[in-house]
Amino acid sequence: MKRRTFLALMAAGGGLLIAGRVYEYWQLVQEQAASAIPVLPAMPTPIPRADWEARPINHEAFNEYGFASETNPTGWLEYRDDLKSAYHTLSIHHSAVSRLAYETMRTIQGEHLDKRGWADIGYHFGIDPQGHIYTGRDLHVRGASVAGGNTGVIGVVLMGNFELEAPTDAQLIALQTLTNWLTETCALTHLAGHSELNPGITVCPGRFMQPYLDVLARGAGLKRTHTAS
């Protein structure tokens, strides 16, 4: 299948059944695997924090217990070793705010700093509806995206409410590109939707994203996980 066909099908949007979209997406991933010429775009340099006007890290954050990592088992922790030994799982999230609201990394960070009391945005990467990939929390610092299970887990958020709307084709392609890159860079082994790591307390990343997770994992050679680790 030609990529433009895939994109045309995606552009048809709400008229397609979700299963059909997942199948077309899987075909794209298969085409990538079989082709000597990359179908997916090369991993771009993520948009840096300065470009989305990230606020400074809050060293007084009341829910990350300061920066003394030896004494804060659930708070701020810096990975000092190679990232390949620090991580095992990629967790996928939605922002739960409709893309019609034009939410940004800055507004997500503001919520995490001001309402949740975290030291920084909790996610390591964000992907907007246009498929732009943003740098979030430093990859050398433990994220804050999964209750009680952030150690060794990278958090990626897609902007949108996927209980109400589907991810865009640009988001899916960017997410696959990012997932493949992170798998190699950090020697990941597993991929999980947030709700699989925190069952019963969240529906994140939403019912319109959930069907893509198997394909996303297979495209990157990751196993699926349904339990916190």
**Least Å distance between CB 79 and Zn ion?**
21
- Selected range binding Zn ion among 15-23, 105-113, 130-138, 193-201, rule: CB under 5 A: 193-201
- Selected range binding Zn ion among 48-56, 108-116, 176-184, 196-204, rule: CB under 5 A: 196-204
Residue from 204, 213, 215, 220 touching Zn ion (CB under 5 A): that is: 204
The count of other CB atoms within 10 Å of the CB of residue 35 is 10
Q: Alpha-carbon distance 166 to 98, whole Å? A: 10
Dihedral of alpha carbons 59, 64, 66, 70, sign: negative
Q: Alpha-carbon distance 200 to 216, whole Å? A: 23
Instruction: Say if CB 22 and CB 215 are below 8 A apart.
Output: yes
Q: Which is nearer to Zn ion, 21 or 194 (CB)?
A: 194
Residues 80-119 that bind Zn ion (CB under 5 A): 93
Can you name the residues that pair with 155 across neighbouring β-strands? 91
Q: Map residues 149-188 to x or -, x wherever contact with Zn ion holds by CB under 5 A.
A: ----------------------------------------
- Selected range binding Zn ion among 97-105, 171-179, 183-191, 204-212, rule: CB under 5 A: 204-212
Residue from 194, 208, 215, 216 touching Zn ion (CB under 5 A): that is: 194
Range list of H helices, 40-124: 83-86, 105-114
**Least Å distance between CB 2 and Zn ion?**
34
Nearest residue to 111 (alpha-carbon basis) of 79, 86, 144, 85: 144
Q: List contacts with Zn ion (CB under 5 A).
A: 93, 194, 204
